[in-house]
Amino acid sequence: MIHLQNILPVIIYAILLAIHYFLSRTGNKILGLIVPVGVIASLIYMYQADIIHMKLIGVIIIGIVALLFLAEEWQRAQKDK
């Protein structure tokens, strides 16, 4: 049986990508900043609260990769509009 603890982050990130894509397709380009700001804020919070047990460089790399995914999603949504 799959543990919910293992699959829940995947579901949350899929929902975040869907929300980001929807917000990026609207006419207002500023709405596309909501999810990236939330992702970075949550990474900072989780690092400060020691929820994710990583060194700072690991958190920075995860943040950069997440922003690259979100930027690509934003660009794709702008083309599809």
Statement: residue 10 has pLDDT above 80 = no
Q: Give the predicted TM-score (pTM) of the model.
A: 0.77
Higher pLDDT, 81 or 21: 21
Cα–Cα–Cα angle for 16, 5, 17, rounded to 5 degrees: 10
pLDDT interval class at 1 (50, 70, 90)? low
Cα–Cα–Cα angle for 1, 46, 12, rounded to 5 degrees: 45
Q: Across residues 15-25, what is the average pLDDT?
A: 87
Please state the domain extents for the chain.
4-80
